[in-house]
Amino acid sequence: MTTECYFCKGKVVEKKVKVDFRWGRKLKVIENVLAGVCQQCGEKYFHSTVYRTMEKLAASRAEPTAKTGARHAF
Ligand SMILES: [Zn+2]
């Protein structure tokens, strides 16, 4: 399935990308997010489910990279 870029009509391919996700005043960098990326202009497209997952991640207080030694039960 090939998607066309909304802006430049370039080819959009699925890739795992790093996202700078802004949530309120916080900025979270989330890696390995599956997104459609335009080969021409670099515009990123996210599935609504992926977007919701990122929102949850950004809204949560859990810091996956924090080295506090604390263990969170999920
Ligand atoms: Zn494009």
Residue 61 Cα to ligand 1 middle (Å)? 34
Would you say residue 46 lies in a domain? yes
The reported pLDDT for the residue numbered 13 is 95
Domain count, the chain: 1
For residue 71, give the amino acid letter. Answer: R
The CATH number assigned to the domain holding 7 equals: 3.10.20.860
Residue 56 Cα to ligand 1 middle (Å)? 28
**Full-model pTM:** 0.64
Would you say residue 70 lies in a domain? no
Would you say residue 64 lies in a domain? no
pLDDT digits (tens, 9 = 90+) for 1-60: 468 999 999 999 999 999 888 878 888 888 999 999 999 999 999 989 988 888 888 777
Domain that residue 42 falls in: 3-59
Instruction: Tell me the C-alpha to C-alpha distance, in Å, between residue 44 and each of 9, 56, 67, 69.
Output: 13, 19, 31, 35
Scan for tokens 């309120």, then name that residue. Answer: 24
Would you say residue 12 lies in a domain? yes
